[in-house]
Each structure stands twice: as C-alpha cells, then as structure tokens.
Structure 1
Amino acid sequence: MNAMPKAKELMTRSVIAISPDMSVDAVARLLAGRGISAAPVLDKAGHVLGVVTEADLIARLAGLKDPPIGFFRSLFTDPEARAERYARTHGVTARDIMTEGAIFVGPDATADEIAHLMEEKHIRRVLVLEDGKLLGIVSRADLLRALVDPVTIPQELPDAEIREAVLTAMKREPWANGFYTTVQVEEGVVRFEGFVQHEGIRRGLQVLAMNVPGVRAVLDNTQPMPAGMMAAV
C-alpha cells in the first residue's frame, strides 16, 4: 500500500497572493482573469493575514442591497455585528472583505488529514504554512492526486498475519460484529462467513479487508442475519 502523500507533495507552490491594500475591484479582476476562486492576503513580511474568496466578493455585492434597519429593530440588534457586516459589504480593500483566521495545515499534514479538515470545515482549499509563512495551497483538485497514484503490487504476508490484521481492523469499527461474522484467509484471499445485519455492513467489510496490506481479494459468503438472531443483538 502506498504511503499517504503529504501537503508538501500535493500543494500548488506558485500561489497568487494579494496585498491587504489592493482594491476590491482589482481583486475581483485578478480572480476572474486568472480563473481562481481565492487568493491569500499577505503582509509585507509574507505572513498570512487572511483569504479573499469568491464567496467574500459575492457577499459584498449582495450586502450592498441590505435594507436599512429601523429604529425599533436596531434596539435588538448587535451594533458590533452590524458594523462588521457593513465594513465587509462596503469595504474597498482586500483587508476590509477578507476572511480572517484562514484554515491551514503544516507541510507534513497527510492527504487524509487534509480531506477530513476540508469536509469538517466545508471548505475547498487549505493553506500550507510553516512558521507563519505561506508555502502553498492544497485544493480539492490537488487531493485527487492522492487517489490516482500508481497501484503497487500487494506485499506478500503470511495468511495468519493478514487474518489478524483484518480482525484488528474490525475491532476498531463498532459496526463490524466479529461475533457473528468469521474471517478466513487463504493465499491472501479473505473469506467472510456467517451473518451480517445489513447490506451496508457487507460492503463495509469488503472495503475494510481490501485496505489491509497483503490482501489480494475478498470473498463474501455471509448471509442476512435471521430475524430471531437480529432481535437478540
């Protein structure tokens, strides 16, 4: 099994960065002209201050049509939040509209860690920083390269060792009930016997086994769990 690629191997190094004083109009033209969806904002020392994204620009455009707030409603509105929104929707420089606190990883972050972060934060890219300095950006497109690396030939391992690895992996997953499902391995081929509660568990076991080093194939001989047995689970 291939080692998981790291951020420093996946990242795009030639990053288009902008200064905090660049006008919003210039930022919009830059993103549109280069066909990119975001650009980091750097100070003169090269430290990241934030990121301006297409979403920030669209929010600014939409915010220009915010209706005026009445006196009565203003009594129940956080003035600081209103002022912050006004600054972002009427700002004239990158500093005004940028998203601060950019999400970043270190150069040794692995592809799966980055993917988990993107999914958790609902973002499309992460910055790669070292000592506060920008090294590059990893986008979703960059992550796809982690899935298309050449497949290596499975290493030869004793069947007993493979079986133990499969059982260990099953113990880590609460849905993989080893009490009703047995595992046999012969010449690198994993064979599941017994019963499973759901079709999804059957698919999960197949994927689980194929991710164990040395496994050449998976045979599924399991049966749907009888109703009486399922009631006892």
Structure 2
Amino acid sequence: MKAADIMTRRVIAISPEHSVKHAACVMLENHISGLPVLDDNESLVGILTEGDLLRRAELGPAAWRGTGSTHEEAPEIFIKGNSWRVGDVMTPGVVTVDEDTPVDRIAAAMKTHDIKRVPVVRAGQMVGIVSRGDILRVIAAAVPDITAAGDEATRRAVLARPCSDVGLDKAAIDVTIEDGTVCLWGEVASEVQREAARVAAEAVSGVGRVRNKVRVGAGASLSERS
C-alpha cells in the first residue's frame, strides 16, 4: 500500500500571508491540528501545527519566552511568539513523500521526525496529505496473512516468524502443536526476546492459544518439554 492509496486528497491549506489568528480559527473550525502553507504558486513552503502555536505571546510571557533558550535563539523565539504572519511562525523544510512511497516508510518518517502528518507532493505541488489517522485506518483494515491449513503448515509459519521478524537464531526456538495449542520451546537471551517470540507466534493467521515455554538464560534446551 502506498501514499496515493491512503492520503486525503482534499487538503485545507493556508497562505504564509494569512494571520496566525486566522490559522488558529481554521484549525478549530475544521478539527485539524496542522495546516500546509502554500505560496502564490501553490508550492509547499511550510506547515503550521498546534506545536508551533504553543509559544505564543497571546498565552503570556512564560509561553513565548520559555526556559533554557540561548542568547542566539532569542530573536527567533521572539519572532515565532509575536509575529502575526503565518510565514514567520510556520515550520519550514517540511518532510514530504511522493505518491509511490510505501506506507511503512511514511510511518517510519513520522516516528523519526516526531510529526503527525506528511504532505504528498508531485513535481513540487502538494496533491494530498497522510496523517496519523490515515495510518491507523490501515491498521484497522488490515487482513491477516493467509496460512495453509494443517498443524505442520502452522508450525512452519510460526517457526519462521521469530527469525524473520524478531531476528532470533533459528536454533533458539522450536514449536510443537498440542490439541490446537501452539507451544514455544527453547532459550533466548532476554525476557523481551521471549515476549517477542510469543507476539510473533500470535501474529500468524489461524493460531489460537500460544503457550510460551521459552526460557531466558542458560540451562534450557529444546528437549526440555515439561
């Protein structure tokens, strides 16, 4: 799935020459937390978010002066806290993607840059936007992978997950199926690896109950199944 498949195409944008007060009203009226900023040529020049408005003079001196700022930062902080123009307050240098960017890369970009939305551009023009809400809808609509029927097929699928998804050594985990219950055996280096193995097993389509008998630390072996 790509950006073009999930993006919102009707995007509410604003001009850098609009007032900050007007931008705040647009956000409230449309129940959105950020606005792309487009110049007269409809090119994306920045984005204005709720976070940009948390250090405004309208909120009082403690908000815009803040704490811990350096002498060099003071002029920029003053501008962002006191200018009436969106262009002075917005965040420039926006992280963008194109229409063919896979959803997993968009989610990774949001996580890396701690942002809630990513504009989608084509030849410098914005054609949509992907928000965290769009990512959540992908998760909610996800269909589990189809696994072949039968205990042996399920066993092979469960065995593959801790290696491919968690990075565990192939020899670390074994799997048995007893009366429809998946049992995990073996030894790993940490509790978090043990829990990751369980989650990987539960993620396999068709798996019901999982009994996690994997041990942490030395002393366990694949033959200890009691």
The TM-score by the shorter chain falls in which range? 0.7 to 0.9
Superposed CA deviations along residues 186-221 of structure 1, whole A, max 9, x for unmatched, are 9x9965333345443333123334556xx5327446
Q: Secondary structure at the match of 2:15?
A: coil
Please point out which of 13, 34, 49 is paired with 2:45.
49
Letter in 2 for 1:123: I
Distance 2:131 2:100 in 1: 16
Distance 2:188 2:123 in 1: 50
Distance 1:173 1:105, change over 3 A: same
Structural mapping, 1:135-154, within 5 Å: 135-149=127-141, 151=143, 154=146
Distance 2:160 2:191 in 1: 19
Q: Which residue number in structure 2 is paired with residue 204 of structure 1?
A: 196
Structural mapping, 1:41-190, within 5 Å: 41-61=37-57, 65=61, 77-78=71-72, 81-149=73-141, 151=143, 154-156=146-148, 159=152, 163=156, 166-167=159-160, 170=163, 173-174=166-167, 176-183=168-175
Query: Following TM superposition, by how much is the alpha carbon of 1:165 offset from its aligned partner in structure 2, in angstroms?
Result: 8.6
Q: Which residue number in structure 1 is paired with residue 33 of structure 2?
A: 37
Distance 1:132 1:189, change over 3 A: farther
Distance 1:178 1:153, change over 3 A: closer
- 4+ residue runs over 6 A deviation: none
Distance 1:91 1:126 in 2: 25
**Aligned-CA RMSD value:** 3.5
Query: Following TM superposition, by how much is the alpha carbon of 1:28 offset from its aligned partner in structure 2, in angstroms?
Result: 1.7
TM-score (norm 2): 0.75
Letter in 1 for 2:95: I
Q: How many residues are aligned here?
A: 213
Distance 1:162 1:137, change over 3 A: farther
Q: Which moved more, 1:91-100 or 1:120-129?
A: 120-129
- The yes-or-no answer on 1:8 pairing with 2:1 is no
Q: Which residue number in structure 2 is paired with residue 73 of structure 1?
A: none
Distance 1:209 1:17 in 2: 44
**More contact order relative to length (CA 8 Å, sep ≥ 6):** 1
Distance 1:195 1:117 in 2: 34
Distance 1:8 1:62, change over 3 A: same
- The yes-or-no answer on 1:217 pairing with 2:207 is yes
Distance 1:163 1:16 in 2: 49
Q: Secondary structure at the match of 1:55?
A: helix
| Unaligned residue ranges in structure 1 (runs of 5+) | 70-75
Query: Following TM superposition, by how much is the alpha carbon of 1:227 offset from its aligned partner in structure 2, in angstroms?
Result: 4.9
Query: Following TM superposition, by how much is the alpha carbon of 1:42 offset from its aligned partner in structure 2, in angstroms?
Result: 0.2
Q: Secondary structure at the match of 1:13?
A: coil
Q: Which residue number in structure 1 is paired with residue 224 of structure 2?
A: none
Query: Following TM superposition, by how much is the alpha carbon of 1:22 offset from its aligned partner in structure 2, in angstroms?
Result: 0.6
Distance 2:99 2:203 in 1: 25
Query: Following TM superposition, by how much is the alpha carbon of 1:66 offset from its aligned partner in structure 2, in angstroms?
Result: 6.1
Letter in 1 for 2:123: D
